């Protein structure tokens, strides 16, 4: 760019072969980005919908002619009275007038710009006129939802459940993945196939006996059935970690072994520090997995509302949507806010980790 | 033997005993590291499955304590009931329809978005990646509330948009039995993030030399996509399809939240796993529930086996991928 401006018109011939390419490249970039924005808009539309609905009063949803954005009817106040504003059709378009008294075929109106002209009569059915609205987000839905649901307790429960379960999963899965990656174990390949096969295992196939077992142990109605199994590793996260561990050169742990390090020291001082991206990925995946869990808490915590995580705690709000859309939407916003914030805070590290995994493979 | 292995490992005179002593020690460590999974596998997976098979021959009801005398062996009665239960076939149909639509969608949409955000021409691709992933972290309950609203027949934005582009009679989604299942497909595909990220990583793992060589040979972008990209990322595509299949056969929570325990409207959201859930837990019929659980188990296993059979011909594994 700067070079062209310096050399001026004389360089027109050498740049002309480069310029169309540049233009094409810019157009391609704009085209791809435009497509991306369109697809993204479709994807994020539901989020925009729930945010906007949560800020609207339910009465607005049922009013014909009300805008989609949170709004209230605009009024004109005159001598202590509030008069609604309408766009009244006149010969040259429309005029914004305040309605003093509506009748069927004509109405008494005032011009807010010239109130000194007083009340005058306008012909036409006021019901066909477009009411004027002003932007007015309303937080009433949030205060209603907050007073109806104990969000503090639900958040705390979900946070503890997801946190403890993630610690257990990391602990167990790192050990198991390490075992699968670095040690000669008889029948290792068959064991690994079995491990991977358990990804396919539907939870329904085991939940009745587990319920009976946990009931016998007196664990139902507590968090134990949700937390204890996390400390015994799961196939998905072991697989992810193993794939990453395999990409770490063996020479490093062999060197450490010659220096007399035992396998646990090698794991802690060589493998784990190099597996940061994979560990971060597993942490986030598992945290959100537990945060999302609905089926297991529903089955094992049956009735114990004080122990409910947020997923089960607000389940009833799905069906009340048609009656109280605003409050349901506010509940949904409150529920998704924390995962979204955590995701935004951790995403840089997370995306980077995924990219590193991909490039270094 | 173990007392000598320190010395043995230092001397290189006798190769075989040194190797075996070292290997034995390494093996012991390895088994120790696998223990969490081995215990968990037996306690929480293998034994429970065997127990589910046992329960399927009993009339055990969840309301009573599990002990001899509180249930009877009923032979094949539960399996006979499977054949006469009027909800079995329709609920299988609901799940199958969901899978047949959801699995292709769950492959194509994440792949398309991964290709988009992988494009060098996309300005601010990191922002796009983050925002496309965002719906995946939204809890399923919140997602169900949101889609209940967006797909509302009158006030939902989808139908308002459809009406705006001239479709006067858009589907009534969750209140129309023909469309309710598809509405949940839309809800499911909203969480595109995991598939997208995994595919994106694998797209970035395709060696650039391959594309360069293809360019030299005169291949265009479409040829490169089908002859290089797709074969090179086929293991990940296969992985995504497998995960999608398993997920589809287990899917029911949003249906339970939106359609209630009977899968309204008109049982169009009565997914098979939901039929299982209401039989085994709210109705406490754990004997018959075990039969339904076994159906889910067998069907999932069979479908995965078929998938693996085809994958052996269709998936390209780089050499050494399967060996550690």
Coil, strand or helix: which one is A107?
strand
* B39 and B184 together in one domain: no
* B149 and B278 together in one domain: yes
* Residue A217: DSSP 8-state: T
* Candidate from A43, A195, A238 with C-beta closest to B135: A43
Among B residues 241-260, those touching chain A with beta carbons less than 8 Å apart: 242-243, 246, 249-250, 253, 257-258, 260
Residue A70 has pLDDT above 90, yes or no: no
* B43 and B163 together in one domain: no
* B190 and B248 together in one domain: yes
The average pLDDT across A35-60 equals 90
pLDDT digit string, tens, across residues B159-183: 888 888 988 889 999 989 999 999 9
- Bridge partners, A134 (sequence order): A72
pLDDT digit string, tens, across residues B20-75: 788 888 889 999 999 999 999 999 999 999 999 999 999 999 888 888 888 889 99
Please provide the average confidence, as pLDDT, over all residues in chain A. Answer: 83
On whether the CB atoms of residues A291 and A339 are closer than 8 A, the answer is: yes
The two three-digit tokens of residue B210, written as one number = 């391959």
User: What is the nearest CA distance from B238 to chain A, expressed in angstroms?
Assistant: 14
Q: Is residue B69 part of a domain?
A: no
Farthest CA pair distance, chain A: 100
* Cα B139 → chain centroid: 17
User: What is the nearest CA distance from B285 to chain A, expressed in angstroms?
Assistant: 10
* B44 and B106 together in one domain: no
Q: Is residue B2 part of a domain?
A: no
* B230 and B155 together in one domain: yes
- Residue A148: pLDDT band with limits 50, 70, 90: confident
* Residue B262: DSSP 8-state: T
Residues of A in contact with B201 (CB under 8 A): 354-355, 357-358, 361
The Cα–Cα gap between A351 and A27 comes to 28
State the pLDDT at residue A41.
92
* B125 and B42 together in one domain: no
The Cα–Cα gap between A92 and A130 comes to 16
Q: Between chains, do B201 and A358 touch, taking CB under 8 Å as contact?
A: yes
The Cα–Cα gap between B270 and B260 comes to 9
pLDDT digit string, tens, across residues A21-32: 788 888 989 999
On whether the CB atoms of residues A213 and A326 are closer than 8 A, the answer is: no
Residues of A in contact with B31 (CB under 8 A): 179, 185
DSSP secondary structure string for all residues of A162-205? HHHHHHHHHHHHHHHHHHHHH---TTHHHHHHHHHHHHH--THH
- Bridge partners, A89 (sequence order): A94
Question: Number of residue pairs across A and B with CB atoms under 8 Å?
Answer: 291
pLDDT digit string, tens, across residues B85-97: 999 999 999 999 9
Q: Between chains, do B257 and A355 touch, taking CB under 8 Å as contact?
A: no
Chain B residue at shortest CA distance from A313: B141
The Cα–Cα gap between A325 and B148 comes to 10
Contact status of B319 with chain A (Cβ, < 8 Å): no
Coil, strand or helix: which one is A268?
helix
**How many independent structural domains does chain B possess?**
2
* B136 and B258 together in one domain: yes
- Residue B322: pLDDT band with limits 50, 70, 90: very low
Q: Between chains, do A288 and B137 touch, taking CB under 8 Å as contact?
A: yes
Q: Is residue B3 part of a domain?
A: no
CA geometry: angle B258, B260, B266, nearest 5 deg: 95
The Cα–Cα gap between A243 and B46 comes to 25
Of A91, A95, A124, the residue nearest A108 (C-alpha): A124
On whether the CB atoms of residues B144 and A318 are closer than 8 A, the answer is: yes
* B32 and B87 together in one domain: no
The Cα–Cα gap between A274 and B129 comes to 25
* B120 and B222 together in one domain: yes
Q: Is residue B66 part of a domain?
A: no
Q: For residue B116, give its domain range.
A: 79-314
Q: Is residue B9 part of a domain?
A: no
pLDDT digit string, tens, across residues A242-293: 888 888 888 888 888 888 889 999 999 889 998 887 888 888 878 888 988 8
First to last CA, chain A: 38
Higher confidence at residue A5 or residue B33? B33
The Cα–Cα gap between A329 and A51 comes to 7
User: What is the nearest CA distance from A84 to chain B, expressed in angstroms?
Assistant: 24
The Cα–Cα gap between B30 and A188 comes to 10
* B121 and B195 together in one domain: yes
CA geometry: angle A332, B266, B289, nearest 5 deg: 85
Contact status of B41 with chain A (Cβ, < 8 Å): yes
Chain A residue at shortest CA distance from B116: A36
Q: Between chains, do A183 and B29 touch, taking CB under 8 Å as contact?
A: yes
Q: Between chains, do B281 and A179 touch, taking CB under 8 Å as contact?
A: no
* B28 and B137 together in one domain: no
The average pLDDT across B270-295 equals 95
- Residue A67: pLDDT band with limits 50, 70, 90: confident
What CATH code is carried by the domain that includes residue B214?
1.10.3720.10
A288-321 CB burial, b ≥16 within 10 A, e <16: bbbbbbbbbbbbbbeeeeebbbbbbbbbebbbeb
pLDDT digit string, tens, across residues A158-205: 999 999 999 999 999 999 999 999 998 888 999 999 998 888 889 999
List, in order, residues 6 or more apart from B44 with CB less than 8 Å away: A206, A210, A229, A232
* Candidate from B130, B140, B147 with C-beta closest to A347: B130
Q: Is residue B118 part of a domain?
A: yes
Residue A361 has pLDDT above 60, yes or no: no
List, in order, residues 6 or more apart from A245 with CB less than 8 Å away: A177, A178, A181, A182, A271, A275, A278
């Amino acid at each position: 760019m700067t070079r062209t401006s310096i050399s001026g018109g004389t360089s027109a011939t050498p740049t002309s072969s480069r310029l169309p390419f540049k233009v094409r490249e810019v157009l391609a970039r704009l085209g791809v980005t435009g497509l991306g924005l369109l697809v993204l808009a479709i994807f994020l539309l539901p989020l925009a919908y729930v945010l906007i609905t949560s800020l609207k009063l339910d009465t607005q949803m049922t009013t014909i002619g009300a805008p989609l954005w949170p709004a209230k009817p605009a009024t004109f106040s005159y001598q202590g009275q509030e008069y609604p504003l309408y766009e009244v059709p006149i010969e040259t378009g429309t005029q914004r007038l305040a309605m003093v008294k509506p009748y069927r075929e004509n109405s008494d109106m005032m011009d807010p710009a010239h109130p000194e002209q007083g009340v005058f009569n306008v012909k036409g059915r006021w019901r066909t006129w477009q009411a004027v609205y002003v932007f007015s987000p309303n937080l009433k839905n949030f205060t209603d939802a907050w007073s109806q649901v104990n969000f503090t307790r639900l958040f705390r429960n979900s946070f503890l459940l997801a946190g403890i379960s993630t610690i257990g999963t990391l602990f167990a899965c790192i050990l198991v993945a390490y075992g699968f990656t670095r040690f000669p174990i008889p029948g290792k390949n068959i064991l690994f196939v079995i491990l991977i096969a358990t990804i396919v295992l539907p939870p329904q196939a085991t939940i009745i006996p587990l319920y009976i077992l946990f009931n016998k142990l007196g664990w139902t109605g507590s968090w134990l059935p949700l937390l204890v199994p996390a400390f015994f590793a799961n196939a998905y996260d072991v697989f992810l970690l193993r794939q990453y561990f395999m990409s770490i050169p063996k020479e490093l742990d062999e060197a450490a072994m010659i220096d007399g390090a035992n396998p646990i020291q090698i794991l802690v001082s060589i493998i784990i520090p190099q597996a940061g991206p994979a560990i971060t990925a597993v942490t986030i995946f598992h945290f959100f997995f537990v945060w999302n869990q609905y089926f297991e808490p529903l089955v094992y915590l049956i009735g114990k509302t004080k122990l409910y995580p947020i997923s089960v705690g607000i389940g009833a709000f799905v069906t009340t949507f048609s009656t109280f859309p605003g409050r349901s939407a506010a509940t949904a916003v409150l529920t998704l806010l924390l995962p979204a914030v955590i995701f935004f805070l951790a995403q840089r590290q997370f995306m980077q980790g995924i990219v590193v995994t991909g490039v270094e493979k | 033997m173990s007392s000598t292995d320190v010395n043995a490992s230092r001397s290189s005179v006798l190769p075989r005993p040194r190797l075996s002593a070292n290997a034995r020690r390494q093996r012991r460590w390895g088994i120790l590291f696998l223990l969490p999974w081995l215990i968990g596998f037996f306690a929480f997976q293998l034994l429970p499955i065997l127990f589910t098979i046992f329960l399927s021959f009993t009339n055990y009801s969840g309301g009573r304590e599990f002990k001899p005398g509180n249930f009877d062996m009923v032979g094949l009665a539960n399996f006979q009931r499977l054949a006469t239960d009027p909800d079995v076939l329709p609920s299988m149909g609901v799940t199958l329809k969901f899978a047949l639509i959801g699995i292709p969608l769950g492959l194509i949409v994440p792949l398309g978005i991964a290709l988009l955000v992988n494009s060098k021409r996309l300005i601010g691709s990191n922002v796009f990646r983050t925002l496309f992933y965002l719906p995946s972290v939204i809890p399923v309950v919140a997602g169900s509330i949101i889609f209940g609203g967006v797909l509302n027949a009158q006030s939902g934005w989808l139908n308002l948009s459809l009406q705006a582009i001239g479709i006067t009679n858009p589907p009534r989604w969750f209140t129309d039995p023909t469309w309710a299942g598809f509405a949940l497909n839309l809800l499911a595909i909203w969480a595109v993030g995991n598939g997208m990220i995994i595919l994106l990583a694998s797209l970035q793992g395709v060696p650039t030399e391959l594309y360069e060589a293809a360019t030299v040979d005169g291949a265009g972008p479409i040829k490169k996509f089908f002859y290089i990209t797709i074969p090179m990322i086929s293991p990940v595509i296969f992985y995504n399809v497998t995960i999608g299949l398993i997920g589809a056969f287990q899917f029911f929570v949003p249906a339970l939240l939106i359609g209630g325990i009977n899968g309204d409207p008109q049982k169009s959201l009565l997914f098979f796993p939901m039929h299982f859930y209401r039989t085994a837990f709210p109705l406490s019929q754990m004997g018959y529930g075990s039969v339904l659980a076994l159906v889910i188990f067998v069907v999932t296993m069979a479908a995965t086996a078929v998938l693996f059979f085809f994958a052996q011909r269709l998936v390209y594994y780089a050499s050494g991928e399967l060996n550690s």
